[in-house]
């Protein structure tokens, strides 16, 4: 299955669609958020993703911190409030991303966020693991009829089946990502077996949301056929925020991009029948050898086997013709700086 996501495609016959997830790594700074777009563009990914939090529409003062990291927020509600951008600011971020040829994604965490992002014409949606079971949110997303990418880190297989049927029935394009909701995710908890099960079970593009802070799960999933890869991005190892340990540097992102492109080339080569001996003939001639004589000889010399010397290039008489040359007579002087040529012999 293949579908268009903005100006790019996701699915069969396509390279893995790579998403750099910023989440709250911008720490509420609009300027810092813009710098992540430049970094993602430098890495060569396909899309950059943010999260649209609006405290009064999604949280209460009773919501606890997942990780108690903040030096300035007395509650998670305060933190979400500090992460907010205006509609105009989100539009500026989207314009910046698109100017860098990145698809702009933003996970909504409220109906208010869905409407705001829809108003600035986001190309599609990413739904985080925590909201996959929220019927009201899925229904609101479905009304936009835009393509969706789901992470399934907190979902049972029954929940994934239900989501699959819901969006299939509505003929909305979507992709499913295996995800382990641990930050960072140990390699042995990546659950590639679940990813492979999804690939066998669902006829939609399957991918991996990788929270390990390492490149290897992403590279492995791409080699196995993943169509979408999402990883968190950081600008340096001392970046402030709860996701730094599960994020990748720009250099690590570039490694995944290089792996994706290399695997794509090798995959294409499996079905490439154009690579034949004929197409390799130039190189073959350079590295192969032809019949020459071990010294310069005058016209009238009879060829003996001891005089034969095989030398490069392979554009002359092949070794297989040596038995036919023994006993023949040179019809002109032979210069050992050159290959033997059939015209060096009497036709008889």
CATH number at residue 297: 3.90.1210.10
pLDDT in tens, the chain (348 residues): 789 999 999 998 899 999 999 988 998 999 999 999 999 999 999 999 999 999 999 888 777 776 666 667 668 788 889 999 999 999 999 999 999 999 999 999 999 999 999 999 999 999 988 888 789 999 999 999 999 999 998 888 999 999 999 999 999 999 999 999 888 999 999 999 999 999 999 999 999 999 999 999 999 999 999 999 999 999 988 787 777 888 999 999 999 999 999 988 887 666 655 555 455 566 667 778 999 999 999 999 999 999 999 999 988 999 999 999 999 999 999 999 999 999 999 776
Last residue of one domain, picked from the residues 270, 298, 318: 270
Q: Indicate if 185 and 104 belong to the same structural domain.
A: yes
Residue 48: per-residue pLDDT: 97
Q: Indicate if 329 and 265 belong to the same structural domain.
A: no
Measured CA distances, 145 to 17, 123, 170, 213, 263 (Å): 20, 10, 8, 33, 32
Q: Indicate if 198 and 300 belong to the same structural domain.
A: no
Q: Which residue do the tokens 């699959």 mark?
A: 164
CA proximity to 235, closest of 93, 37, 46 = 37
CA proximity to 131, closest of 145, 117, 141 = 141
Last residue of one domain, picked from the residues 228, 249, 270: 270
- As a whole number of angstroms, the distance between CA 31 and CA 244 comes to 19
User: 230 has which bridge partners?
Assistant: 19, 209
Cα-flanking dihedrals φ and ψ of residue 24, to 5°? -105, 20
Q: Indicate if 192 and 293 belong to the same structural domain.
A: no
Q: Indicate if 251 and 286 belong to the same structural domain.
A: no
CATH number at residue 122: 3.20.20.70
**Residues 336, 295 contacting (CB under 8 angstroms):** yes
Measured CA distances, 110 to 64, 106, 139, 154 (Å): 18, 12, 12, 18
Residue 200 lies in a domain: yes
Residue 285: per-residue pLDDT: 73
Q: Indicate if 129 and 169 belong to the same structural domain.
A: yes
Domain that holds residue 83: 13-270
Look at residue 106 and give its three-state secondary structure: strand
**Residues 325, 345 contacting (CB under 8 angstroms):** yes
Q: Which residue do the tokens 């590639």 mark?
A: 192
- As a whole number of angstroms, the distance between CA 279 and CA 295 comes to 34
- As a whole number of angstroms, the distance between CA 234 and CA 214 comes to 12
SS (H, E, C) 47-98: EEEEEECCHHHHCCCCCCCCCCCCCCCCCHHHHHHHCCCCHHHHHHHHHHHH
Residue 130: per-residue pLDDT: 82
Per the structure, the count of domains in the chain is 2
Residue 279: per-residue pLDDT: 52
Q: Indicate if 184 and 293 belong to the same structural domain.
A: no
Residue 348 lies in a domain: no
Task: List pLDDT tens digits, range 274-332.
Answer: 555 455 566 667 778 999 999 999 999 999 999 999 999 988 999 999 999 999 999 99
Peptide bond into 184 cis (omega under 30): yes
Q: Indicate if 33 and 76 belong to the same structural domain.
A: yes
Tokens encoding 237:
């190892």
Last residue of one domain, picked from the residues 270, 304, 321: 270
Q: Indicate if 131 and 165 belong to the same structural domain.
A: yes
Query: What stretch of H or E contains 286?
Result: helix 281-287
Q: Which residue do the tokens 């990502």 mark?
A: 177
Task: List pLDDT tens digits, range 231-266.
Answer: 999 998 878 777 788 899 999 999 999 999 998 888
Q: Indicate if 41 and 115 belong to the same structural domain.
A: yes
């Amino acid at each position: 299955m293949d579908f268009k996501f903005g100006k790019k495609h996701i699915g069969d016959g396509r390279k893995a669609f790579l998403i750099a997830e910023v989440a709250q790594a911008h720490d509420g700074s609009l300027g810092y958020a813009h710098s992540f777009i430049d970094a993602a563009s430098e890495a060569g990914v396909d899309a950059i993703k943010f999260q649209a939090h609006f405290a009064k529409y999604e949280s209460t003062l009773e919501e606890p911190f997942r990780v108690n990291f903040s030096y300035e927020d007395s509650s998670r509600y305060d933190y979400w409030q500090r992460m907010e951008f205006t509609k105009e600011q989100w539009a500026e971020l989207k314009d910046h991303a698109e100017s860098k040829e990145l698809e702009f994604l933003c996970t909504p965490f409220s109906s208010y966020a869905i409407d705001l992002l829809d108003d600035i014409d986001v190309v599609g949606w990413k739904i985080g693991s925590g909201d996959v079971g929220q019927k009201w949110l899925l229904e609101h997303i479905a009304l936009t009829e835009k393509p969706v990418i789901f992470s399934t880190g907190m979902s049972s297989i029954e929940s994934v089946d239900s989501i699959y049927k819901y969006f299939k029935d509505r003929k909305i394009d979507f992709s499913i990502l295996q995800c382990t909701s641990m930050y960072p995710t140990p390699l042995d908890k990546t659950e590639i077996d679940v990813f492979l099960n999804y690939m066998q079970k669902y006829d939609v593009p399957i991918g991996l949301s990788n929270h390990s802070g390492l490149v290897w799960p992403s590279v492995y999933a791409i080699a196995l056929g993943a169509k979408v890869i999402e990883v968190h991005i950081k600008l340096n190892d001392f970046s402030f925020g709860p996701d730094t340990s599960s994020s990748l540097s720009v250099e690590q992102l570039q490694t995944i991009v290089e792996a994706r492109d290399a695997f794509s080339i090798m995959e294409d080569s499996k079905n490439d029948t154009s690579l034949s001996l004929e197409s390799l003939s130039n190189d073959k001639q350079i590295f192969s050898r032809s019949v020459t004589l071990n010294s310069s000889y005058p016209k009238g010399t009879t060829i003996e086997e001891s005089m034969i010397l095989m030398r490069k290039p392979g554009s002359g008489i092949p070794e297989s013709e040596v038995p036919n040359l023994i006993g023949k007579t040179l019809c002109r002087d032979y210069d050992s700086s050159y290959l033997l040529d059939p015209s060096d012999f009497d036709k008889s």
